[in-house]
Chains A and B, each alone.
Chain A
């Protein structure tokens, strides 16, 4: 049973465009929703995170939008750059448990 469903599996965006990655979940006990970024040959690193009491969080070009009623959250990358090309994972956690990750989205930003 996949607790966090991520889409799309892969994404190609032109430089300067907006990249959007979506995640959906079922467990209403999840209380923490981070996004991790992974470059080839490296471990994932935290990019941005949100808690369910806010609907949006922005850090630079990266924004998380959170829809609690729909049980969905998304990552928006504005003005996408070739250096943003990486694999992105959404995740969720219920208090007292480990992070559950989505299957990842491979983003390629073409120059």
Chain B
């Protein structure tokens, strides 16, 4: 079946603009995660959804970052007033009952 998909695959934006990143998880997967991958920093946890609720949003780096999930499926990560340090690859993953994480290919964000 189809894997996790993310859009856009690449995004270039100007400092101060808002961006929305989309994640389509594997159908039926109840858990959804957002991670950020910066050069040399590994995979940084941002937020976790179980269904439509977010029991753990401890990794969101500032109040400029927010995420939502609707219908227990699609999720959107929004970054307001982007800064250059937000440049990274944003990875989404989904899982069934929080076991194996299946990652999407990521959205490469570049803030100029």
Per-residue CB contact flags for chain B residues 33-59 toward chain A (1 = under 8 Å, else 0) read: 101000011111100100000001001
A12 at the A/B interface (Cβ < 8 Å)?
no
Given A43-B4, A43-B93, is A101 in contact with B103 using a C-beta cutoff of 8 Å?
A: no
The closest CB in chain B to the CB of A43 belongs to B103
What B residues does A44 contact at CB under 8 A? 43, 91, 101, 103
A61 at the A/B interface (Cβ < 8 Å)?
no
Q: How far is the CA of A41 from the CA of B107 in the complex (A)?
A: 10
What A residues does B48 contact at CB under 8 A? 98
The answer to whether B42 and A42 touch across the interface, beta carbons within 8 angstroms, is: no
Interface residues of A in 2-43 (CB under 8 A from B): 6, 9, 34, 36, 41-43
Q: Which of A9, A34, A36, A98 has the most CB of B within 10 A?
A: A98
Q: How far is the CA of A44 from the CA of B106 in the complex (A)?
A: 10
A54 at the A/B interface (Cβ < 8 Å)?
no
Tally of A-B residue pairs with Cβ under 8 A?
47
Q: How far is the CA of A46 from the CA of B94 in the complex (A)?
A: 12
A86 at the A/B interface (Cβ < 8 Å)?
no
B25 at the A/B interface (Cβ < 8 Å)?
no
What A residues does B56 contact at CB under 8 A? 97-98
The answer to whether B43 and A42 touch across the interface, beta carbons within 8 angstroms, is: no
Given A43-B91, A43-B105, is A103 in contact with B45 using a C-beta cutoff of 8 Å?
A: no
A99 at the A/B interface (Cβ < 8 Å)?
yes
The answer to whether B43 and A101 touch across the interface, beta carbons within 8 angstroms, is: yes
Using a CB–CB cutoff of 8 Å, the interface residues on chain A facing chain B are 6, 9, 34, 36, 41-46, 49, 89, 91, 97-104
- 7 A-B contacts (beta carbon < 8 Å): A36-B103, A44-B91, A46-B100, A98-B45, A98-B59, A101-B44, A101-B45
Closest 10 CB pairs of A and B: A43-B103, A103-B42, A101-B43, A98-B48, A98-B45, A101-B42, A104-B42, A46-B100, A44-B103, A43-B105
